[in-house]
Structure 1
Amino acid sequence: MAVGAVIHTFAVQLADVDRGVYEELTLRVARHPSETDAFMVTRVLAYCLEFEDGIAFSEGISATDEPAVLARDLTGRLTAWIEVGAPDAARLHYGSKLADRTTVYTHRDPAKVAAAWAGKPIHRPESIVLHSFDPGFIEAAAGVVERRNTMTLSVTEHQVYLELNGTTSTSGIHDHSLV
């Protein structure tokens, strides 16, 4: 954990009807001083929306050779490389070579994020999916984040229903292809 990091706890009730995932999670998330609340919320949502056995947060900003969230199988092999924000093309290229599946969740304008990758070498770009949310959704959630958080996250038909600390919001999950 980075010096000066603030620990946030999320008690999550996850009901992802689309994938048949129903879990109660307790997440301890270290927010680096240079990390925004919007980035942290996107990181927590990415973890929940990609939840599977072997999923974990990386060391965060200090881990230059790992994504924000990753998943490994029982042998330790990297199965999912899950980036958050606006990673550069080189990171996507590297992650796509290491993992079976590469995904990006962004709290930024997806057109601008994807435009930064245009024309750059990325391994298997056709298999990488960029996920975004409705405008204002992440910012609204980031505005109610506290050190201790209760969160109910439901997903059905690519629609996210989020209750965070008593505040409810809804967003679509929009998938963007790199090719």
Structure 2
Amino acid sequence: MAIGATIHTFAVQLADVDRGVYEDLTLRVARHPSETDAFMLTRVLAYCLEYEDGIAFSEGVSATDEPAVYARDLTGALTAWIEVGAPDAARLHSGSLQAARVAVYTHRDPAKVAAAWAGKKIHRAGEVRLYSFDPGFIDAAIAGLERRSTMTVSVIERRLYLELNGATYESDVHEQSAA
């Protein structure tokens, strides 16, 4: 019998000073057995850092035609395609054709992630944003993960301050173009 997804619950206080976003969120995140803690935490952080009306998690690794996180407007039109990890160029190309904004959040070496896209066809590649964190930030933070976690996510001048279950971590949010 196949192992099902593990549900993680995050009680999040979000204060993104840079964008003027202040929200209290309760996120129920299904972690697929093949998904690492690092990927899941990066997915949760991407959701928080991109938070807007209409944002949602996709069905995860089983949703091959959707990104990890997306946003839709009131008409149902896709406005943001947000990938996590190291998606291939074809996914970014597809996402860029479908949504006005495409972003990738990675817990991996961003130079290696971007290098895999070099020379590949990506629609509006210069507009696709690649975000990463300081080396070791995600690895340190996953040590504090629990099935039920409380977290405070604060962003000030692209500096991320994360309190996860009483432990604190911080990192710059690095940004570069996919092109």
Q: Same fold (TM over 0.5)?
A: yes
TM-score under structure 1 normalisation? 0.98
| Other structure's SS at 2:111 match | helix
1:140 shift after superposition: 1.1
Give the deviation of 1:3 after TM superposition: 5.3
What letter matches 2:63 in structure 1?
A
Look up the equivalent residue of 1:141 and give its one-letter code. A
**Whole-angstrom distance in 2 between the partners of 1:28 and 1:140:** 22
Which amino acid letter does the alignment assign opposite residue 55 of structure 2? I
Q: Which amino acid aligns with 1:128?
A: V
Instruction: Give the aligned partner of residue 57 of structure 1.
Output: 57
1:161 is matched with which residue?
Answer: 161
Identity of aligned residues (%): 77
Structure 2 residue 24 is the aligned partner of structure 1 residue 36: no
Match of 2:136 in 1: 136
Aligned pair 1:15/2:15, yes or no? yes
Q: Aligned equivalents of 2:43 and 2:141: distance in 1?
A: 12
- Distance between the aligned counterparts of 1:177 and 1:55, measured in 2? 22
Unaligned runs of 5+ in 2: none
Residue matched to 2:66 = 66
Q: Give the gaps of 5 or more residues in structure 1.
A: none
The one-letter code matched in structure 2 to 1:95 is G
Q: Does 1:174 align with 2:177?
A: no
TM-score by length of 2: 0.98
Mapped to 1, the partners of 2:15 and 2:43 lie a distance apart of 18
Runs of 4+ with deviation above 4 angstroms: none
Structure 1 pair 13–147 and aligned structure 2 pair: CA distance change class (3 A): same
Any residues of structure 2 matched to 1:111-126 within 5 Å, and which? 111-126=111-126
What secondary structure does 2:19 align onto?
coil
What is the aligned-residue RMSD (CA, Å)?
A: 0.9
